[in-house]
């Protein structure tokens, strides 16, 4: 039996209860009830109009799965290889900052849940816990570190070196957040958790950042927050700056935020090791193109030279099938596991990931495909 069959068996035959809602819509609704309004909208809202938050998910409806019959799918291989390591599922936990506003244990609970399932967790620069402590909470070592490149490049270099020393396996550079997007709900709520000391743990524990302060953060947190606000993001970055980053680490470097095939080609020309097709869940640019719509042309431009991952809009197993069929090597999931975290901490994250993967496994098998490679061939119809 496959992963999805095992999950169904536990639910139907062993009467294993779901501790959180199974459907994404109900999951989000319950999380909204459970969270403070400011914290909920910090996760749920987007740049632009309220409808922009749904553009990514609506875009998946343009694609329909075309099942094939009488194929042996009794044994299904869900594993993929990324940067020399085989992982059991084509799924990673997207980097999400300030998880402490969602649950007291924040990213520590999330990485434990991901680790138990063998899923790589991408630890955010904007975490409340320092990256070393986050990695120590994991049972496995297949996790990645996400970098927000600050105006002080020595701080960026320091974080990359710390991540490599801590055992992270790849560096994910977020390109689309050289400054914060115009997020109406956050503006209305006058809410930026970093200014309250949330989500800056990696900075507070960084030796280069601390060297820029007259007093350590423990003695003067206001000055530390002021320094953070002054260096976060760098809109002057160009492709040429990637050479500096490459000189700081031996780890694979993955660029997150690519939405144009020409940028994908630029990434290859500059020696990058992977690409994540992403619009930051719609949080940076209003009316931004859905990631799933540009995935095929970016995958075509890359032509298998490096892994092409995708996020922004993954809510169900069928979404995973569609993204993989359109050229993704693997996908990242974000908001759903945050809502699981809000409702039940580590166990909530685990159940969100479990349900998503069970749905994916069964959908792939019922469509007549027993491996991810088989999804590449005429698995979808665009409507």
Residues marked as binding for FMN?
95-97, 124, 146, 174, 256, 278, 311-315, 334-335
- C-alpha distances (whole Å) from 207 to each of 202, 315, 327 are 10, 39, 41
Please give, one letter per residue, the 3-state secondary structure of the chain: CCHHHHHHHHHHCCCCCCCCCCCHHHHHHHHHHHCCHHHHHHHHCCCCCHHHHHHHHHHHHHEEECCCCCCCCCCCECCEEECCEEECCCEEECCCCCHHHCCCCHHHHHHHHHHHCCCCEEECCCCCCCHHHHHHCCCCCCCEEEECCCCCHHHHHHHHHHHHHHCCCCEEEECCCCCCCCCHHHHHCCCCHHHHCCCCHHHHCCHHHHHCCCCCCCCCHHHHHHHHHHHCCCCCCCHHHHHHHHCCCCCCEEEEEECCHHHHHHHHHCCCCEEEECCHHHCCCCCCCCHHHHHHHHHHHHCCCCCEEECCCCCCHHHHHHHHHCCCCEEEECHHHHHHHHHHHHHHHHHHHHHHHHHHHHHHHHCCCCECHHHHCCCEEEC
Beta bridge partners of 136: none
280 is catalytic: yes
Contact 341, 320 (CB under 8 A): no
Residue list, annotated binding site: 42, 95-97, 124, 146, 148, 174, 183, 256, 278, 280, 283, 311-315, 334-335
Q: Which residues contact 247 (CB under 8 A, 6 or more apart)?
A: none
CA angle 227/228/231 to nearest 5° reads 85
Which of 143, 260, 270, 280 is catalytic? The answer is 280
Residue list, annotated binding site for glyoxylate: 42, 148, 183, 280, 283
Q: Which residues contact 57 (CB under 8 A, 6 or more apart)?
A: 313, 315
Residues belonging to the active site: 280
């Amino acid at each position: 039996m496959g992963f999805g069959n095992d999950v169904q068996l536990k639910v139907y035959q062993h009467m294993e209860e779901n501790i959180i809602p199974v459907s994404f819509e109900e999951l989000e609704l319950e999380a909204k009830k459970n969270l403070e309004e400011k914290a909920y909208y910090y996760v749920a809202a987007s740049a632009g109009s309220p409808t922009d938050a749904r553009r990514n998910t609506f875009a998946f409806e343009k694609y329909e799965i075309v099942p094939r019959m009488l194929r042996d799918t009794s044994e299904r291989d869900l594993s993929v290889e990324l940067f020399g390591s085989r992982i059991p599922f084509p799924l990673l936990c997207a980097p999400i900052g300030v998880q402490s506003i969602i649950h007291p244990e924040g990213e520590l609970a999330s990485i434990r849940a991901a680790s138990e399932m063998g899923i790589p967790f991408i630890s955010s620069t904007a975490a409340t816990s320092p990256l070393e402590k986050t990695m120590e909470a994991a049972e496995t070592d297949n996790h990645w570190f996400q970098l927000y490149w600050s105006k002080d490049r020595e701080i960026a270099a320091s974080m990359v070196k710390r991540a490599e020393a801590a055992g992270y396996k790849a560096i994910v550079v977020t390109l689309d957040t050289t400054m914060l997007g115009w997020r109406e709900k956050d503006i209305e709520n006058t809410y930026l958790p970093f200014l309250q000391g949330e989500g800056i743990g990696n900075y507070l524990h960084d030796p280069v950042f601390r060297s820029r302060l007259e007093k350590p953060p423990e003695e003067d947190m206001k000055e530390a927050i002021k320094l953070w606000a002054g260096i976060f993001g760098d809109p002057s970055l160009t492709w040429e700056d990637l050479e500096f980053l490459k000189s700081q680490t031996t780890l694979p470097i993955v660029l997150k935020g690519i939405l144009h095939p020409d940028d994908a080609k630029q990434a290859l020309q500059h020696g990058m090791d992977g690409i994540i097709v992403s619009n930051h869940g719609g949080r940076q640019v209003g009316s931004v193109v859905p990631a799933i719509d540009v995935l095929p042309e970016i995958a075509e431009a890359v032509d298998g030279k490096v892994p092409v991952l995708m996020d922004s809009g993954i809510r169900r197993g069928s979404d995973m099938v569609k993204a993989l069929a359109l050229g993704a090597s693997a996908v990242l999931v974000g908001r759903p596991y945050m809502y699981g975290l809000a409702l039940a901490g580590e166990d909530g994250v685990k159940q969100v990931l479990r349900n998503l993967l069970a749905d994916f496994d069964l959908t792939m098998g019922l469509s007549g495909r027993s491996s991810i490679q088989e999804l590449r061939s005429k698995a979808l119809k665009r409507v």
